[in-house]
Structures are given as structure tokens and as C-alpha cells.
Amino acid sequence: MPKAIIFDIDGTLLDSVDLHAQAWREALRHFGHDVPFDQIRSQIGKGGDQLLPVFLTKRELDSMQKEIEEYRSKLFKDKYLPKVKPFPGVRALFEEIGKNGQKIALASSARGDELEHYERIAGIEDLVQVETSSADAKRSKPHPDIFEAALDRLGEGIEREEVMVVGDSPHDAEAAKRAQLAVVGVLCGGFPEQQLRDAGCIAIYGGPEDLLNHYRESPIAPERARQAGAGRNLSR
């Protein structure tokens, strides 16, 4: 029975994947690298420490990684963050989870100040018990560090097998698997269904609202809330 649910944020709770990709593309172009949008988008869900090595040489990373990340961070806050919107059903889903006595944690590659802003955008500041940001992880997804940090903060009363992850990208699923956590996928981030399944998602839903509508029969619900005989693992 899941006692806690760990949520990714970008692409899972907030419609921000394209905006992050645009910010990274603009930042890379500023430093002389014209990378196609689709190539960058496929890497969203990773932090800069894992995304930039896909496009830069080691020498370039050594000389400009920090500068690029700082430029992208400011660019995103100034130009793209005001455009971020929550997906439908986020707060209602969190309220339903809370009614059933489950804890809610956020695990994001975002910086701490960005994370606070994200919570305000989604209207969930009062519903989150645990939050982790890039400062809590040495390596970003697909490494498991951020989920391990969330597990630590959830406390000793919750075992690994009593925790479920919800994410939109194969990077989320891979990180969850490395942390030995079950993961449910959502399609609202724009990653193909088959990629999510191949990465290890045990169930897939359209987004937060779809997951809310089928909460009682979903893997994230406690046993007592599940409808007898109900079964479903895909919705669009």
C-alpha cells in the first residue's frame, strides 16, 4: 500500500517542458551551439549536469558549463517562467491523496527558488509534506539521487516499497527504478507512451486530472480506496 507519492514537477504537474527546451536552446545558441529543439526536448527532465554533456565536449563543459547553466537559469526565470501553467486537476489530485492519509513529496531538478514558485503556480504549497530540489542531489535524473533524498526526508516510518513515483519522462522512470521505486507515467509531458513503458512505468495516465478520475483503481491508491475488481493502466 503506497504511504507516500513522490511527484516530478515539470511535465507532470506543470506544462513547462517546451518552455525549458526553448530556454536551453536559446542558452546553447548564445554560447555558439545551435541544437535542434527536438533533440533538446528529449533530454528535458534531466538537470544541466546530465543534459549538457549530451551536446558539449568535455573541454567545453570544463570551460563553460557553470556559465551556461547560470545564463539558462536567469533566462528561464525572466522570460519563460511567467508562461508556466499547471495541468488540470493538480490540486484536486493532491487533496484526494491527502484525504487517504498519504504523504506527498516533490522531487525536481529545479533550483530551490524555482521550486517554491512552481508550488505557488500549481496552488499546492499547503499540501506538500516533503520537497527536494537540485541542491539535494549530487547528480540529476536519470540518476536516483533526488529520489533517495526524498526518501530520506519522508522518514523512517515509510519503507521503499511503500512509495510510488509519478513522472512524465523516461528519465523519471529510470531514476525511480535505480532507487528501487515503482513508477506511474503520465503522457502530459509529451514523451511517447512506449518510451515510458520501456523505461519501466507500471501504469500510464493522461495527466493529473486523468489520474484523479481513476485514482481509486490506480496503483497510487491505498488498498482500502481501490474499487473491487477495477483494473486500468492506460488513458488518453
What residues does each domain of the chain span?
4-15+85-225, 17-83
Burial class (CB in 10 A: 0-12, 13-18, 19+), 33: middle
pTM: 0.92
Burial class (CB in 10 A: 0-12, 13-18, 19+), 52: buried
**pLDDT classification of 226: cutoffs 50, 70, 90:** low
- pLDDT tens, 20-77? 999 999 999 999 999 999 999 999 999 999 999 999 999 999 999 999 999 999 999 9
Nearest of 76, 69, 73, 79 to residue 31 by alpha carbon:
69
pLDDT at 233: 46
Question: Which H helix or E strand runs over 166?
Answer: strand 163-167
Range with lowest mean pLDDT among 3-7, 32-36, 203-207, 223-227: 223-227
The matching CATH number, chosen from 3.50.50.60, 3.40.50.1000, 3.40.50.80, 3.30.470.20, for 4-15+85-225 is 3.40.50.1000
Neighbours of 168 (CB within 10 A): 29
- pLDDT (average), residues 5-24: 97
- pLDDT tens, 96-109? 999 999 999 999 87
The amino acid occupying position 155 is G
